[in-house]
Every structure is written in structure tokens, then in C-alpha cells.
A = this chain, B = another copy of it.
């Protein structure tokens, strides 16, 4: 399994600078003031570099939603009972959740996988089952999972995205479901960035002040008990992560190995991206930060990765919702690059060299 992981990371190349240059030159010839489409212009240049084409398009889209439970949920860190993880997976499969609605809007297929829900889910033709366990152990008393399990979960994520690549995939978004997983994400971000737990811990699905203090104390205890090694992202992932977070690490690495850009969603996806980029720094160029979550730790991890989010809509739902919303911005940006007329084509005068007066 470690071999699969190493082979995948070895396939992640630097971006294609010739394609990026060609995209930039074309942007500057289109009938608009240079740079006037701001982040959308920058986005097209990055996308060109990822796929190695001057005018890329991304018609085939998927959001990969990984679900798993967390031992820490038993410690009362969430506003919702653990059973909601399984219930929401059924909601995803029935098409009634926010991610289903937003993916339909974006033209993305929803891929749902059980990475370690605490119960056995009914068999469903659309449910991928790659269960690593029935929830992680509580990280308050020891590691959430073994190193072996972490690698197994990452490789499951690689397999899941590669199956999508075989079906045809141009753009992928990451999503997740797991009661308690903002707690795991906060622990990961604190461990890797060295931030204090209070600075990277939010209200999750909606706990009160007392609940928040308890959540912070739980994470601090987990870090004290486990002593994750900040320089070893797999150690951090195994000790204070989750099966769905590990799976997302694999999804990101697997997509980048196939030159597919990855829209990262909110705080949980961001924590997975943090682990994945520490593991393989070349991955960073393949990641598009979809939005800035209400979760305070999200900004910390984006700044650590030097990624600027596209949207800032006060989202805090997860599931991949922000990432699929931002897929429409990708479509807008590349349509501009591909379809707009140039100054020459349209017979429009370019900027005057000297401003009069």
C-alpha cells in the first residue's frame, strides 16, 4: 500500500509553464482591460498549467463525499448525535442533501463512499464501501487509528478517484460527512501549523460557549496524550485525524497525479489538504481553495498553504458544498479564456500608451 502512495506522489509534476504563459498571453489579448477579471484570470492561468493546455475546459465534474465516524464524538464535541453521519449518507444517496442540490446546479456527479461509518449501511448501488473501521478510536485516550489504517484509507481515496478518472473526469471537488470531524480537523491544524487549539477551533455544527470550551479542552488533551510529530504528516493524520480525512488526502493526491485540479471545500477538506501538501508539496499547485469557511481554523490552514479562497459566503456546512458552488466560477473563468474575442478580432482599440492630460 505504501508503494501505491509513493507511486502516486511521484506522478505529481510541476505545472506546465508553457501552457500558463500561453493562457496569460491570451488573457491579455481579450477585449477587456488587463487583469480586470481579477481572480478569475489568475485561476485560468493556474488551470492551464495543471492540465497543460492553453485553453482548458472542464465538462466532466465529480464531488467525492467521504463519510466516517469519530471516536471523539462520544465525548460530546458536536451538537448532533453520531447517528447523523449514517443518516446523512442515506440522504446523499437519496439525493436530498445540500450537496446533491448544488452538484446538480454545477453539473457534477456525487460520489459517496463509506470510509468508516460506525454502523453498517444498507447496500446501495451508488454507495462505495471502503470501510477502514467502525469509526476511529477516541483520540483523547490514544491514536485515532494506526499508521497502517491511515495509509490504507489514503490508498482507498486514490482508488476512488482513479475509478472516476476511468469514467471520465476533468475537475474534482472534495466533500465529507462525519459527526465530530471539525474536532479532528482542528487537532490536525493545531499540530501541523503550531497554532494554539483555541485559534483553530470553531463551533462546528453549532455548539454553545460551554460546548466550545469543552471541545478545545478535548483537543488539547488529545494532543498531549498522542504527541503527534508536526514534521510527520502521516503521524498527525493517524493520531488525531479521521478515516474520511485520510481518504480525502488520497483523493487529492490521486487527482493531481492525473493532472486533475482539485476544488477543496471547507475546514475538513482543508485539513486533509494540509496533510496532503505536507506529504507532497508539489500537490499545492493543483489545489483550488473554493471558499473561506466560518470555521476559524480554515483561514489559518489556507494561509499556511498560501491559497486564496474564491468565495467568502459564511458557509460552514461541508459535504463539498462550497467546492461545487465554486466549480461554476471555474466554468465561468475558462469560458472567458476560451470564448471571448481578442482586440484584433473585435476591432476594439487597445489601451493608449500615454494618458493625455
Contact = CB atoms under 8 A, between A and B. Distances in A.
Contact of A90 (B36, B206, B346, B352): B346
B352 A80 contact: yes
Interface in A68-120: 75-81, 83-84, 87-88, 90-91, 94, 96-98, 100-102, 104-105
Given A76-B355, A206-B351, A317 B91 contact: no
A39 B313 contact: yes
Interface stretch (A239-247, A281-289, A332-340): A332-340
Nearest to A310: B313
Copies of this chain, whole number: 2
A347 interface: yes
A355 B79 contact: yes
Contact of A105 (B100, B332, B355, B357): B332
Given A31-B88, A37-B98, A38-B294, 4 more contacts: A36-B205, A36-B206, A36-B315, A37-B315
20 contacts: A31-B97, A33-B206, A33-B316, A37-B98, A39-B313, A40-B313, A77-B357, A78-B355, A79-B351, A79-B355, A80-B351, A81-B349, A87-B349, A91-B346, A91-B348, A96-B341, A96-B346, A102-B335, A102-B336, A105-B332
